[in-house]
Amino acid sequence: MSEVQFDLEAAEARLVEAGCRVLRPFRGGARTYHAPAEPVAMARGVFIDTETTGPDVAVDQIIQLAVIPFDYARDTGQILRVGEALVSYEAPTIAIAPEAAAVHGISMDRLQGHTHRETEIVAEFTAADLILAHNSAFDRPMLDRRFPQLPARPWGCSYVDVPWRRAKYPSGSLGALLIEHTEHFFAGHDAADDCYAALHCLAYPLVFPDLPAEARYPLAFILEQLAQPRYRVSAVGAAFDLKDRLARRGYKWNDPSKAGALPGVPKAWHREVAAAEFESEMAWLTKDVYVGRSAELLAHVKEIPSTARFARAARG
């Protein structure tokens, strides 16, 4: 019997000619994405992801942490190089919720005898100019609780700070972005794999179907968010029956008496806005929440430094 030779590249070419999309499996790891022809002003970032005992930032614990350094161009947000992952495990003092174990597959037996590599983790953060995660509102509070000695650094989020929806992507989830933005796929839910996947997405330019001339690297949008002042606006005194309207607008409830509450923020619905959105947010509150009474006088406003974004504990 003669051997059948299969030409993968030719098969892919035929599929593309037939109008099909060819998706390739994503493999994470250290790599060089871009080598600029001319010297550029570089900066160092770290991308982090956590796997935890559960979803509660006030009580659950980090059982796996990945920290991946990367170099980027300050002016364009172009990802230049991605380094080796520092992966750290720790046995928790509470049980792993079954729902969490079903997602990441990490068992208590696997964690026995492990403690986080604190010295190395702190060193990576100290060397960084920027910290990123794909869900910083979750990962940042978890890190702050476990590693209060981490130095204050600006925080961004590759999920909320990049206008994926405006670029017509159906979802900002990592799995969906890999497929739609890079034509790769992966299973996910390992901390290091998730970091590499997110950085891979940031390495490809973001093209807007309606405004192709505005194509930019996704990290450029994060840096833009960090460059302008941000404010936490609390709709103090808002009527109870407006809670659904506030939630649809992106407001979240804060109760200072509860674990994980935001420091210095009153008991009220609140939302974070950039300086460019501040006036329109005040106008919306005046019209739709305070019914003609001035939001400038009634709402509680607090400026948020870039080093305190996504934090649930006071940071510099």
Q: How far apart, in whole angstroms, are the C-alpha atoms of residue 193 and residue 37?
A: 30
Tell me what pLDDT residue 300 has.
Answer: 96
Residues 54, 201 contacting (CB under 8 angstroms): no
Q: How far apart, in whole angstroms, are the C-alpha atoms of residue 207 and residue 103?
A: 32
Q: How far apart, in whole angstroms, are the C-alpha atoms of residue 63 and residue 142?
A: 11
Nearest to 221, CA basis, from 167, 263, 298, 183: 167
Q: How confident is residue 3, by pLDDT bands cut at 50, 70 and 90?
A: low
Over 50: is that where the pLDDT of 4 sits?
Answer: yes
Q: How confident is residue 45, by pLDDT bands cut at 50, 70 and 90?
A: very high
Q: Tell me which amino acid residue 250 is.
A: G
What does the block give as tokens for 241? 């029956």
Query: In which residue ranges of the chain is CATH 3.30.70 found?
Result: 229-308
CA dihedral 286, 290, 294, 297 (to 10 degrees): -120
Mean pLDDT is highest, among 17-31, 111-125, 157-171, for 111-125
Rounded mean pLDDT, 250-268: 87
Rounded mean pLDDT, 65-93: 97
Q: How confident is residue 251, by pLDDT bands cut at 50, 70 and 90?
A: very high
121 or 189, which is more confident: 121
Show the DSSP H helices in the chain as ranges. Answer: 8-17, 98-104, 108-111, 118-126, 136-146, 174-177, 191-202, 218-227, 243-249, 275-284, 295-298
pLDDT tens for each residue of 199-243: 999 999 998 888 777 789 999 999 999 999 999 999 999 999 999
Rounded mean pLDDT, 41-63: 96
CB burial of 12-29 (b: ≥16 within 10 Å; e: otherwise) equals eeeeeeeeeeeeeebebe
Distant-in-sequence, close-in-space partners of 269: CB < 8 Å, separation ≥ 6: 234, 235, 238, 243, 246, 247, 251, 252, 253, 254
36 or 241, which is more confident: 241
Tell me what pLDDT residue 269 has.
Answer: 97
Rounded mean pLDDT, 230-259: 94
Over 80: is that where the pLDDT of 10 sits?
Answer: no
Residues 99, 125 contacting (CB under 8 angstroms): no
Over 60: is that where the pLDDT of 316 sits?
Answer: no
Tell me what pLDDT residue 114 has.
Answer: 97
Over 80: is that where the pLDDT of 263 sits?
Answer: no
Helix (H) or strand (E) holding 80: strand 79-82
Q: How far apart, in whole angstroms, are the C-alpha atoms of residue 169 and residue 77?
A: 20
Residues 120, 48 contacting (CB under 8 angstroms): no
What does the block give as tokens for 313? 């504990």
Over 80: is that where the pLDDT of 194 sits?
Answer: yes
Over 90: is that where the pLDDT of 70 sits?
Answer: yes
Tell me what pLDDT residue 5 has.
Answer: 58
Residues 45, 69 contacting (CB under 8 angstroms): yes
What predicted TM-score, i.e. pTM, was given to this entire model? 0.86
| CA distances for 272 relative to 187, 211, 278, angstroms | 32, 27, 9
Query: In which residue ranges of the chain is CATH 3.30.420.10 found?
Result: 21-226
Residues 83, 100 contacting (CB under 8 angstroms): no
Over 90: is that where the pLDDT of 311 sits?
Answer: no
The answer to whether domain 21-226 has CATH 3.30.420.10 is: yes
Distant-in-sequence, close-in-space partners of 143: CB < 8 Å, separation ≥ 6: 48, 50, 62, 65, 150
For a pLDDT cut of 70, what percent of the chain falls above it?
Answer: 93
Q: Is 35 left (phi over 0), alpha (psi -120 to 50) or beta?
A: beta
Tell me what pLDDT residue 213 has.
Answer: 73
pLDDT tens for each residue of 83-100: 999 999 999 999 999 999
Q: How confident is residue 315, by pLDDT bands cut at 50, 70 and 90?
A: very low
Question: Topology of domain 229-308, per CATH?
Answer: Alpha-Beta Plaits (3.30.70)
